[in-house]
Homo-oligomer: A and B are copies of this chain.
Amino acid sequence: MRMAELVRRSGVPAASVKFYLREGMLPPGEATAATQARYDEGHVRRLRLIKSLTGVAGLPLAKVKIVLGLIDEAGDADRPGLDLLGKAMSALPPYPAADRVAPGAPPDLPRARRALAFLGQVYEPGFVAVAQLERALAALEDAGIPLSDDRLAVYGRHIRAIAAEELAPMADQAPGDAVAYAVLGTVLHEPVLLALRRLAHQDLVAAAEQATIDSTTDRKEPS
């Protein structure tokens, strides 16, 4: 297809398409004349992915380039390894503040270390998510509501079940698609989970209120 159709099919403006071509984020089309090229379905899919990463997922351009590089790298492998997925996850927000990234050995993160040992998971202080967990646990302590082991056990069990369900589709995906899915899915399912949690709170409180009303109202219906 020509550029005009690529623009129409992908929903990405021509100026942006040309920018992505110049930046090497989109591979060049097949040259058909000095100033013309032909594009295929792969270009449409790539542009839609870039659009999702920069748009709804909210990644800055430098991080989108990293993710695209990892997808291309994964394309040559049998399947995406933990190393590749870990790198892709590190490209996702929230980003640690520059002053928190110490050079050299990763810092000790005692709260996260203890929590992960409790859950029977590996403690790897270099993982971005481990530092996130440490900060989140410290914030709860600062607010006077430290996380109890009982609560941690409940969180760990249910979040693990959710994570297993989320990884299941990757078994049938090509490696590049699996990396793209892991990145988009990690970012885009987060707000779904957080919204459902707040709605579950409201639903549970409403149900408890209704139960109180029912138990304090004189029953006038025939039994």
Which residues from chain A sit less than 8 Å from chain B, CB to CB?
48, 52, 55-57, 81-82, 85-86, 89, 116, 119, 121-122, 124, 127-130, 132-133, 135-137, 139-140, 142-145, 147, 151, 154-156, 158-167, 181-182, 184-186, 188-206, 209
Q: Copy number of this protein in the oligomer?
A: 2
**A192:B137 contact, CB within 8 angstroms:** yes
Q: Do most interface residues of chain A lie in helix, strand or loop, or is the interface mixed?
A: helix
Residues of B within 8 A of A48 (CB): 143-144
Residue in contact with A190 in the complex, picked from B160, B165, B181, B194, CB distance below 8 Å: B194
Residues in B with CB closer than 8 Å to A181 are 145
Residues of B within 8 A of A124 (CB): 202
Given contacts A155-B162, A159-B197, A198-B89, contact A140 B204 (CB under 8 A): no
Chain B residue with Cβ nearest A166: B201
CA distance A198 to B181 in the complex (A): 14
Given contacts A52-B144, A185-B145, contact A196 B57 (CB under 8 A): no
Measured CA separation A63–B151 after assembly (Å): 28
What are the residues of chain B within 8 A of A132 when measuring CB–CB? 191, 194-195, 198
Contacts of A165 in B (CB 8 A): 151, 154
Contacting residues, chain B, for A190 (C-beta < 8 A): 194, 197
Indicate if the CB atoms of A205 and B162 lie closer than 8 Å: no
Taking CB atoms, residues of chain B closer than 8 Å to A135 are: 191
Which B residues are CB-close (under 8 A) to A154? 161-162, 165
The answer on a CB contact under 8 Å between A200 and B160 is yes
Interface residue from B122, B162, B189, B192 paired with A203 (Cβ < 8 Å): B122
Tell me how far the C-beta of A43 lies from the nearest C-beta in chain B, rounded to whole angstroms.
Answer: 15
